[in-house]
Each structure stands twice: as C-alpha cells, then as structure tokens.
C-alpha cells in the first residue's frame, strides 16, 4: 500500500463520516435568556433584606501584573438593580436653531 492508497482511504472515510452527520437533525435554537425570578436575600448594594435578583457583569482583576477577566454575579434588590440601557431615555433631537449653530461652529473650525 503506497501513500496514494492511504490518502484515498482516509478521504473516503472522511466522506462517509460527513455523510452520517448530515442526516442528523440540527438542534433547535435555545430561547432567549429570561430574567431570573426574585428570591429572598440581602442586597449587596444597600444591605437590606428584600427580594433580590442576580445580575451578571464582567469584571477585570490585576494581580502580580497579570490581568484576569471573568463574569461575576451580584445580587441586587429591585431598587438597586442596574437599569437597562434600552430603558434609559435618550437626549431629545436638536432643534433647527441648535443644529444651525452647531454647523456654523464646525464650518468655522474647517477654515
């Protein structure tokens, strides 16, 4: 058996393996993460006993010159729970007078 025979055998085995995996059904997509149900506990921010919900956040730590990143879970009551960025109100659009003033200032800086 020379090198080309080994190559053809390996190629055929790979093709058979791919053919077997194609027949399997793909797993269904998972549903979006739902907010956790509140439980009785102590809020980490205000230190009061109330219904708390877990809040996952990324945290960086430096030790001996090496940085490590990880997900940390904090438990907050409804009052202290961080607000979603989607829920925070955005700034109102600029009025026509403010927009003209802004463009005039930018035009002056260009010359």
Dump pLDDT digits (tens) for 31-90: 877 777 889 999 999 999 999 999 988 888 888 888 888 999 999 998 898 887 776 777
Q: How confident is the model at residue 1 (pLDDT cuts 50, 70, 90)?
A: low
Q: What is the pTM of this model?
A: 0.47
Phi and psi torsions of 102, nearest 5°: -65, -45
- Cα-only R_g, the chain: 29
Phi and psi torsions of 7, nearest 5°: -65, -45
Phi and psi torsions of 89, nearest 5°: -70, 145
Alpha-carbon separation of residue 80 from 46, 50, 51, 63, 72 (angstroms): 7, 11, 11, 29, 17
């Amino acid at each position: 058996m020379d090198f080309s025979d080994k190559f053809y055998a390996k190629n055929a085995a790979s093709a058979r393996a791919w053919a077997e995996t194609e027949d399997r059904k793909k797993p269904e997509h998972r549903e979006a993460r739902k907010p956790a149900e509140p439980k009785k506990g102590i809020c980490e921010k205000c230190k009061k006993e109330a219904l708390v919900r877990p809040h996952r956040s990324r945290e960086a730590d430096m030790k001996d010159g090496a940085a490590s990143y990880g997900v940390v879970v904090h438990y907050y009551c409804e009052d202290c729970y961080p607000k979603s960025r989607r829920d925070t109100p955005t700034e109102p659009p600029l009025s026509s007078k403010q927009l003209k003033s802004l463009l005039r200032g930018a035009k002056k800086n260009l010359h």
